[in-house]
Amino acid sequence: MPSLKTQNDSKGLNRARCIHASRLPEYRLPFGARPAGSYVEIFFDCFKEATNVTFCYTYGLYSFSYHEEPMYSVSGLGRYHVNLMLPSEPSILFYWFRFNVPGDLEDLQEEFKVSGEDDNPAPDITLYYGAGMDTKDGEGTIYTCPPRVGVDEDKYPFAFQITVYNKDFKTPGFLKGAMMYQIFPDRFARDHSFSYERLTGTDARQERIYHEDWYEDVDTKGKPETGYLACDFYGGSLKGIEEKLDYLKELGINVLYLNPIFEARSSHRYDTADYLNVDPILGGTAAFMSLADACKERGIKIVLDGVFSHTGADSKYFNKFDRYEGVGAYKAFNEGEESRYRSWYNFFRNEDGSVGYDSWWGFPDLPNINEDDLSYRNFIFGKDGVVDTWTSRGSAGFRLDVSDELPDSFIRQMRQTVKEKTNGEGAVIGEVWEDASNKCSYGSYRDFMLGNTHDSVMGYTFRHIILDFLCGYIDADIADSRLEGFRERYPKEAYYAMMNLVSSHDVPRIMTALSRPEDTDDRDVQRGFKVDKKYYDIISSLSKMAFAFQTGYIGASCIYYGDEVLMEGYKDPFNRRTYPWNRLDQRQQDALAYFRRIARLRTENACLRTGYYKTLMAGGGSFAFVRYLKEGRDAFGNEASGSRAVVFIMNRSDKPVHVDLTERYGSFDCVPSEINGGIHPLSEQFILGGILGGTRQIGIKPFGTVFVVY
């Protein structure tokens, strides 16, 4: 489909005579997502020969209403304006522009033009102006047909978007700009009283494998009689985590995110067996209470992993293998007995008469829950239910596993209940891998970024952008455009609480991902993959750069355990290896010191947690931005401590670069006071003296990162 790209000068003024840039105040004000019932000023520069210039929009969530509004010139030179009152209810609003122009208009590219016949002028043609892709300042593009925004449609041509969120939407203060640490509990740390005999005696299930050697590699075969079931255990415990809390505080951590801790058959525990009790291997519920108290003393919040779309087949609720007391849903259906859990699941009979049931992605060990069942909702949200129990025990909220597979109404009730139980300070974080502001699944747009369901979502989109940039697949200007697009579409309350990550239990670790291994499901190949020694220094520098970026950027910075010491690991289960306590080599110790230094920058400077943001430079392999305060206040109007501003500069390329802060940063009228985290060929003293002497040029070596503190 042909498109005509417009051009704009450095001030955003129209040269091609047709432009709307959604991230520039000359064209849309205020910036970004907006509260329901508020107003947005929208301007569109069009060809002065244009007629019937029309503002087209559609809004809704589960169903959409389409409307058109004539636009009138405000200057006589082709500038058009709309003062748009946004819907009074949270929704997604898409918009674009339609207009007519003579088919032989000089400014049109050839593919748009039509010719007249004989002495007759060329007829008018109808064109549409919608959003572009990866464009500077959200600039749009001319199309020959209107944008498509239907749930099941290919979304090209693109529409501009305004996320209309609940005007009362607030996210917890502890989550904004947080330093998070994600732990896979079995693999982080054994406690000092660990006993292998006690570990093996905890549970006698025949499929379980117990590792006596903490440093032994993960199992991928299982026992011969059962095959692989992710049932190997190392004896990591909640007490082990508690004993390492001072280590976490040195990393600046104020939020601890734990992968599932509820009793389950597997070591990953996404097959919940008992929602109300901690797995005995982890130390039981008493160990959680002790951990919660110790975290509270250190100002650390705990977010638990909640798996509510399915349970384990081997659970007290389903009880397929009859290992738990009482009648589970499986036996109730198969033998006609009574069970309070029967209505939670969807059963049927196969052609051969055997029992069938809905399961998560077809895995029989993970039977799906019917989340609309009111008895199940009472169990989760009612008095003494799951939310009530764990918030009273000290949890500050939940990360929702496969959030996009839960009904919106379920997540709304989850958030409402969490807020009620925590005086409004609890958090609900969703596992959403795509753009949560316009996510479509199960035949509908989803209520994910409208202030009703999630406080935040996992930053897999952030990870994707950072990896693409650091691997050289995209340049800094594209990375910046994509990040700015998310900042535009997400409510500020949510964006400052985004769980930005570069590794997790579901993706290869950052060191491995940056090595760009061939995609394979061969576990023997995955097990043996290591970062090439020739490129180790480069890969480790890029890994540090990724951490520095997420720590300097807007949102919560989430470290996956072991990334701070450059752990490697391909896909599950190799990204879930044990932390190498007492075996760190010199490079790993240096990396840990680097992580601590960068983390301290955020903990000591509120501008890196809740400050304003501005991109200073983005091109090629160089990216620079500033986080700053205005008159001592942050982006939410609160008084803030620490430095007035911190500039972050990184050089992804294999050649040194020089950045002149006078041109890029002069308007903020700040004097640099120190440089931290610099990896550059010049000494800190020389560069600092150069800046204070007026040159303000910083040299950054290949694959180098610099913070400048003002």
Catalytic residues: 401, 431
Query: Would you say 525 and 574 are in contact if contact means Cβ atoms under 8 Å apart?
Result: no
**What are the structure tokens assigned to 295, written together?**
């975290």
Q: How far apart are CA 611 and CA 177, in angstroms?
A: 9
Q: Report strand pairing: 440-441 vs 444-445.
A: antiparallel
Q: What is the DSSP letter of 403?
A: G
Query: Would you say 186 and 281 are in contact if contact means Cβ atoms under 8 Å apart?
Result: yes
Query: Would you say 621 and 664 are in contact if contact means Cβ atoms under 8 Å apart?
Result: no
**What are the structure tokens assigned to 19, written together?**
């432009």
Amino acid letter for position 88: S
Number of helices (H), then strands (E), belonging to the chain: the values are: 18, 35
The beta strand positions in 103-215, using DSSP E, are: 124-131, 140-143, 160-165, 179-183, 209-210
Provide the sign of the torsion angle of the four alpha carbons 211, 216, 218, 219, taken in this order.
negative
**What are the structure tokens assigned to 702, written together?**
């290949």
Q: How far apart are CA 161 and CA 57, in angstroms?
A: 10
Query: Would you say 675 and 687 are in contact if contact means Cβ atoms under 8 Å apart?
Result: yes
Enumerate residues 6+ apart whose C-beta is below 8 A from 16.
Answer: 4, 6, 7, 8, 107
Which backbone phi and psi does 93 adopt, to 5 degrees?
-115, 125
Amino acid letter for position 655: K
Query: Would you say 468 and 549 are in contact if contact means Cβ atoms under 8 Å apart?
Result: no
Amino acid letter for position 22: S
Q: How far apart are CA 33 and CA 25, in angstroms?
A: 14
Helix (H, G, I), strand (E, B) or coil at 180: strand
Q: How far apart are CA 233 and CA 267, in angstroms?
A: 6
Q: How far apart are CA 652 and CA 539, in angstroms?
A: 11
Q: Tally Cβ neighbours within 10 Å of residue 268.
A: 20
Enumerate residues 6+ apart whose C-beta is below 8 A from 316.
Answer: 273, 274, 324, 325, 326, 328
Query: Would you say 547 and 502 are in contact if contact means Cβ atoms under 8 Å apart?
Result: yes
Query: Would you say 62 and 16 are in contact if contact means Cβ atoms under 8 Å apart?
Result: no
Q: How far apart are CA 81 and CA 26, in angstroms?
A: 11
Closest CA to 389 of 274, 498, 484: 274
Q: Report strand pairing: 64-70 vs 51-60.
A: antiparallel
Go through 307-331 and write b for each residue having 16 or more CB atoms within 10 A of its CB, e for each that does not: bbbbbbbbbbbbbbeeebeebbbbb
Which backbone phi and psi does 325 adopt, to 5 degrees?
-70, 155
Alpha helices for 93-225 (secondary structure H): 196-200
Amino acid letter for position 594: Y
Q: Tally Cβ neighbours within 10 Å of residue 265.
A: 24
**What are the structure tokens assigned to 479, written together?**
């990375």
Q: How far apart are CA 308 and CA 151, in angstroms?
A: 25
Scanning the structure block, which residue is given the tokens 């339609």?
98
Which backbone phi and psi does 378 adopt, to 5 degrees?
-65, -40
Q: In what order do the strands lie in the sheet with 612-619?
A: 612-619, 622-628, 645-651, 704-709, 674-676
